[in-house]
Structure 1
Amino acid sequence: MFRRNRLMIALAAVGMLMSAGAGAQDYPTKPITLIVPWPAGGSTDISMRAIADSASKILGQPITIDNKAGGSGTVGPATMAAAAKPDGYTIAQIPITVFRLPLMQDVSWDPAKDFTYIIHLTGYTFGVTTSAESQFKTWKDVVDYAKQNPGKVTYATPGAGTSLHIGMEQIAGLAGIKLTQVPFKGGAETNAAVLGQHTMLQADSTGWRPLVDAGKLRLLMVWTSARSPNFPNVPTLKELGYSMVYDSPFGIAGPKGMDPKIVAKLHDAFKKALDDPAVIATLAKFDMVPNYKNTEDYKKFVVEITNSELKVIETLGMAKKKAN
């Protein structure tokens, strides 16, 4: 009886291994869900839809976008890490806040342990806009006003702890001014806030471009290393005297414990998608430049970016207090 039980257990284990291997070999056999942790209609959502559409053709299965906004872009990835199976059918865009927020406050996830990193894709062009009807014609106008009216200059961001929030606070510190952040869930809301003059400024990625092109918003600066080819007359942070470049790069990950063979299939599909002319055109529309890193390099980058972010938020006095 004992021998028979051992044999049955061994056969069951072998069966499970064979089934798992077959699952990875046949993957994908059904639609994949890609969580985009921002509202629909923003620059991230539109770009990720283009990339997902291209990758789905390579994988032979649809990739469905699930917008899970909130928590400065962390609610979606955190939900995935807590509840999704590591079978490759639920993955998420991973914004830099996934690494930053655990350094600022207690959270439910550990970026070093709770995700399977797949591929690094691209980054943003950030900029500061104001209403075309605003008194601010240049960034110098903002600084001059803020010095006379500490804390009265309000700026919309896609959430507390985002690169836009951290970047604006760094800029304010270097300029010797006090600004007041008004956090929202994403670009559609920040556009509405500054367009309706509910906030005086907006700090966000290029979801504002159509409104700038239409003359409804005024772009005061961009945060890239060089001027944007789409806005050649708009100065960079460096040109304004701030030694900073911010592009908040991002990639894709799944829950921890994913089969390396499935990771490789996803990596290869999304890498090919970055070369798709339709994807390149969409990224260019929003001033996003492909910033590819393979799976292993992405893992290394996670460690590097976490360390560099810790230094920044400690300098700003925003790091969470360590337990005694």
Structure 2
Amino acid sequence: MPVPVLRPSRRALFGLSATLAAPAIGRAAAFPERPVRLIIPWAPGGSTDSQMRVMAEIAGKHLGQPVIIENKPGARGTFAAAMLHGQVKPDGYVIGQIHQGVLSHPFMTKSATWDAAVDFDYILGITGYLSGLVVRAEAPWPDWKSLMDHMRANPGQVSIGTSGVGGASHLVMAQLMGFERATMLHVPYRGVAETTVALLSGQVDAVADSSGWAPHVEAGRMRLLAIWANTRAKRFPDVPTIKELGHDVGGIAPYGLAAPKGTDPAVLATLHDAFKAALFDPQHLAVLERYDMPVLYMTGEELRAWNAARIPVERELIRRLGISFE
């Protein structure tokens, strides 16, 4: 007796097709499908802006979508953190730079802000700033000691520009003024691009900031008196560190990239891999060398842990210096 052939009905075939298609319909869309915005909380033209632009261009090639730079200067370099903290979706399409000033910001204002240890999803650590104190080449102070002697004899008469109240360089200088028993006239700006113009144009007597001043020092337009780093800078081997001058402050603090809290771990991994590849690309390494910025690679979790450990130090420093905006 022949075995009957069973032919499925149209309804059954439709159901089978729907079942087979279901995984594809439910699968998350590939990331990224459009450009990624990278928020730089500093004015164009500074060391961070230059470094990030090269890194973003390279990372975009690995992502298959462009990484578009958006400069948001002001507020002591905290606009990127503010945007990531509740202003944009946690989808990976808006990321930003998180630096040491973001850690200290909540302790200088009464307004509710973020806890940098838990309120961002970190992507990776990248590098850190070489910072120092520079004067114009024609300034009457050949070294750190001569400037400090002058400032002690003329309290509040020497104007020093930084990238904002409560920023890393301002905090270092505030500590150093206490150690040296000197008084400065602090003039805050929105980034090293602005402090550089201010010094060259004579608006301020000195600048304490990250290494956007390096090309001007090499060109003979500025004189570098001291740096706050762990060791002397390779490009400026004759310039002492603050630690050599007897003050155990400063050092290179890492910064990196973060996304809003709640970003898909797979998206974070994609961003991490693209920016890590860009970090170690020869073209990007050449930019870091130009500004004496070391490679300080960390995974997102390692950067979060470093920030978490640093936050109590920043809190105590702000309390001791009495810096407040309100």
Question: Above 0.5 in TM-score?
Answer: yes
Q: How many percent identity over aligned positions?
A: 41
Q: 1:142 corresponds to which letter in structure 2? A: L
Distance across 1 between alignment mates of 2:23 and 2:123: 25
**Partner in structure 1 of residue 203 of structure 2:** 198
User: Could you tell me whether the CA contact under 8 Å between 1:163 and 1:246 is conserved in 2?
Assistant: no
For normalisation by structure 2, the TM-score amounts to 0.89
SS in 1 for 2:269: helix
Q: CA deviation at 1:18?
A: 6.5
**Partner in structure 2 of residue 235 of structure 1:** 240
Q: CA deviation at 1:76?
A: 2.6
For normalisation by structure 1, the TM-score amounts to 0.89
Distance across 2 between alignment mates of 1:152 and 1:249: 33
Distance across 1 between alignment mates of 2:274 and 2:325: 38
Distance across 1 between alignment mates of 2:282 and 2:111: 39
**Partner in structure 2 of residue 22 of structure 1:** 28
Q: 2:235 corresponds to which letter in structure 1? A: N
Pick aligned residue for 1:57 from 57, 61, 64: 61
Aligned residues: 304
- 1:83 and 2:113 correspond: no
Q: CA deviation at 1:143?
A: 0.8
Q: Deviations over 1:284-316 (max 9, x none)?
A: 100110111112212212211111211222232
Distance across 1 between alignment mates of 2:123 and 2:278: 14
> What is the correspondence of 1:56-135 to structure 2 with a 5 Å cutoff?
56-110=60-114, 111-135=116-140
Distance across 2 between alignment mates of 1:291 and 1:89: 24
Distance across 1 between alignment mates of 2:25 and 2:175: 54
Distance across 2 between alignment mates of 1:18 and 1:127: 55
**Partner in structure 1 of residue 40 of structure 2:** 36
**Partner in structure 2 of residue 311 of structure 1:** 316
SS in 1 for 2:86: helix
What is the root-mean-square deviation of aligned Cα atoms in Å?
Answer: 1.9
309-318 or 263-272, larger mean C-alpha shift: 309-318
Pick aligned residue for 2:262 from 233, 236, 257: 257
SS in 2 for 1:86: coil
**Partner in structure 2 of residue 142 of structure 1:** 147
Distance across 2 between alignment mates of 1:130 and 1:234: 13
Distance across 2 between alignment mates of 1:121 and 1:142: 34
Distance across 1 between alignment mates of 2:52 and 2:197: 22
User: Could you tell me whether the CA contact under 8 Å between 1:100 and 1:306 is conserved in 2?
Assistant: yes
User: Could you tell me whether the CA contact under 8 Å between 2:39 and 2:72 is conserved in 1?
Assistant: yes
Distance across 2 between alignment mates of 1:187 and 1:300: 28
SS in 2 for 1:22: coil
**Partner in structure 2 of residue 47 of structure 1:** 51
Q: 1:165 corresponds to which letter in structure 2? A: H
Structure 2: any 5+ residue segments left out of the alignment?
1-21
Distance across 2 between alignment mates of 1:299 and 1:319: 25
> What is the correspondence of 1:177-192 to structure 2 with a 5 Å cutoff?
177-192=182-197
Distance across 2 between alignment mates of 1:233 and 1:112: 38
Structure 1: any 5+ residue segments left out of the alignment?
1-14
Q: Deviations over 1:132-177 (max 9, x none)?
A: 1111111111111111111111100011110000000111111111
Distance across 2 between alignment mates of 1:17 and 1:107: 46
User: Could you tell me whether the CA contact under 8 Å between 2:230 and 2:252 is conserved in 1?
Assistant: no
Distance across 2 between alignment mates of 1:250 and 1:164: 14
Q: 1:105 corresponds to which letter in structure 2? A: T
Distance across 1 between alignment mates of 2:325 and 2:129: 27
Distance across 1 between alignment mates of 2:228 and 2:194: 21
User: Could you tell me whether the CA contact under 8 Å between 2:132 and 2:211 is conserved in 1?
Assistant: yes
User: Could you tell me whether the CA contact under 8 Å between 1:103 and 1:320 is conserved in 2?
Assistant: no
SS in 2 for 1:82: coil
- 1:157 and 2:170 correspond: no
Distance across 2 between alignment mates of 1:272 and 1:188: 27
Distance across 1 between alignment mates of 2:120 and 2:65: 23
Pick aligned residue for 1:266 from 242, 256, 271: 271
Larger-gyration structure (1/2): 2
User: Could you tell me whether the CA contact under 8 Å between 2:88 and 2:94 is conserved in 1?
Assistant: yes
